[in-house]
Structure 1
Amino acid sequence: MIHALAGRDLTVTASQLESWRRTGLLPRHRRRGLGQGRGSVVDVVDPLVVESAAALARHLRQGRDRRLAVLEWFAEAGMPPASPGTTPVPEPPAAAVRKALVWALQRSASQRLVEFARSAAGAGEEGQDALYAAAGRLMGHYRRAANPALVRAALETGEDVPVEAQGPDFRSMVHLVAAIGLGAREVGADALAEAFAASGMFGLTAEEWAQMLGAEERGEVPAVDWGLLQQNADVVAQVQRASDEELVRAREVLVGLRWFYGLYVLHGLLLPDTPAQAALRQRIDDLGMFPVLDHVIAIRPSPRQLAESLTACLDTPLDGLYETLMEQLADNPDIFSIPGDDTSPAGFGEKWIRTMAEQTQAGSASAGAG
């Protein structure tokens, strides 16, 4: 097997292979006993073992925690083969995946905030102030991506991207974190309305959220089960509760949503539009889910980002969004077919490159004239 991996420019030693076997990351080849105390021998090299060792060799390097490599391996196993006929990447051991996810999530900013929020409960105003300060530090760096439709319109007209394209500041989400530890009633309807509006969910304004939450607070509508907020905030517990099949499903949802999100964002970068693309964007907009995707999805996530995004995809809203978009894609799969244009997908790409080049030239000419 060492020679087989060397043929792929992957250097692995016998001691490394044995270490991976001892820790349960690498299965052993089937061996046949020779009888009469003569030991055993491997008749056939198992392709699954070779591919598993190759995956580990790709993602492990000296001094790197194996759990990070397992997360990258798990992500790679969920991707389609690079080309037809390519051997699929095997799944890593499910127990190792769960252990790696829990380890990464315990060190995540979101889990640290949950634990801090819970510790602030009952600590009075000092505890509340400390919680808001900590949440502000951990969340203040994040701002949503600019609205792709407004960015596209600005590029096409040669104008500056409007301020409103940026959307509300995500820092208001700190109120949701506070509600986890202090309780929704303690935080209040107005503050929570700001948080939900900043999340962008359902496209509702802070005023609209305030009206609904205020009605709930006054008992005019059925009570909200705020316990669900507490339950879903604990990402470590979510992963521990999930079955192996649910973790694999969450990965499928995450990979699919990453593709849909990328398509939506590229609309802002002058990707040639088609009815199929417009229909997908409309489905996302109807559900008010672009801001949620923007928060959850990273195009090239680190292993720790992968762990957090995967956990988000265990929840019903993102799973449901994925199903909705897959149904829409099945109804109209011609994502890269421009009406009246019989060119191949290669022609679609050429048109995009040409449009970008023309836009760059127009921008340079405008700058020169100024």
Structure 2
Amino acid sequence: MVDAVNPVVVESAAALARHLRQGRDRRLAVLEWFAEAGMPVRPGAAAVPEPAIGAVRQALVWALERLVSQRLVALARSAAGAGEEGQDALYAAADRVLGAYRGAAHPALVRAALEAGEDVPVDAEGDLRSMVHLVAAVGLGMQEVGSDALAEAFAAFGMFGLTVEDWSQMLGAAERGEVSPVDWGQLQRHTDLVGQVQQAADEELVRARTVLLGLRGFYGLYLLHGPLLPGTPAQAALRQRIDDLGIFPLLDHVIAINPSPGQFAESLAVCLEPFYDNLYETLMEQLAEAPAIFRIPGDETGVVGFGETWLGTVRELPAPGRAVDGGADDGPGEQSAKKS
């Protein structure tokens, strides 16, 4: 009888058991299992079987409906007919949520501080409170918020290196009819993560997972420049591509290195957008052009020598840099955990 048991059934049961604990909702375990099944298979290890995609979709919807961000979107939509009191409640709630966000400090600043033996910055400078205007635009409409407030909100995101003045000029030109009008309905559709997951095809959910896990790897590599990852031409080229695109703030907002199931669900829903799929393909093309990420030129020991060089660099850090907030031992996972 034992020989007749389907190995996939056994492996599926084992995968679920790894993530299921007493008193824990099964849907959280399904999300972690789905994430694990998308990870690369280690040499000699068996591939993790996929959970039923129907169960994955149900778990995604369940997790998304409980997110603070989605409750905020629901509040924004309800504020449209609630008068001034509803608008005040929306702005107050959005300010509390967005003001608590703490992004990672830029890796270049972290690296410079470590090398100089200075205090290591933990969080990104500034906050995202001005993005409350984007939330308001979802429910109240762009006309109620105004282009100046929206320009401030887009600039707070830090994407593409554009300033408030840059955004004001573009939005103002759209208002005056000098360029194509902005489709604000698209903004409203993109904030409905639950609807996007419900409407996505099965293969789109799997593809979004591929995109998310790939972008997580690129984001992690970019972050590791901070804790003194030895430089290689391939790494420099990858960081330069990300800098040229101006998308580190975007990755920092969307990606978490060690996400909770809720964070994973939110990021996966975001990665259903074609923009992120195209971004993933662009960075994969860069990696294909320069794949020797962990090989120092002239070092014949390859990855082993790379690791030894990194450890040696960390050991030689000035004492103050090591002592601040965990110093060089704080990798990107620690920084990501500080996000709300």
Alignment TM-score > 0.5, same fold: yes
Q: Which residue of 52, 59, 63 corresponds with 1:100?
A: 59
Question: What letter is aligned with 1:147?
Answer: H
Unpaired runs of 5+ residues, structure 2, are 324-340
Q: Pairwise mapping of residues 1-370 of structure 1 onto structure 2 (< 5 A)?
A: 44-81=4-41, 83-160=42-119, 166-361=124-319, 363=321
Counterpart secondary structure, 1:336 = coil
* TM-score, length of structure 2 as denominator length: 0.90
Contact 1:144 1:170 in 2 (8 A): no
Q: What is the aligned-residue identity percentage?
A: 74
1:15 maps to which residue? none
Question: What letter is aligned with 2:46?
Answer: T
Counterpart secondary structure, 2:4 = coil
1:139 shift after superposition? 2.0
Which has the larger Rg?
A: 1
Question: What letter is aligned with 1:60?
Answer: L
1:364 shift after superposition? 7.3
| Counterpart-to-counterpart distance in 1, 2:120 and 2:23 | 45
| Counterpart-to-counterpart distance in 2, 1:102 and 1:230 | 18
Unpaired runs of 5+ residues, structure 1, are 1-40, 366-370
1:167 shift after superposition? 3.9
Counterpart secondary structure, 2:287 = helix
| Counterpart-to-counterpart distance in 2, 1:114 and 1:43 | 52
Contact 1:106 1:112 in 2 (8 A): yes
1:360 shift after superposition? 4.0
Question: What letter is aligned with 2:283?
Answer: L
1:344 shift after superposition? 1.9
Question: What letter is aligned with 1:55?
Answer: A
* 4+ aligned runs moved over 6 Å, structure 1: none
Greater relative CO (CA pairs within 8 A, separation 6+): 2
| Counterpart-to-counterpart distance in 2, 1:312 and 1:44 | 42
| Counterpart-to-counterpart distance in 2, 1:219 and 1:270 | 49
| Counterpart-to-counterpart distance in 1, 2:287 and 2:177 | 42
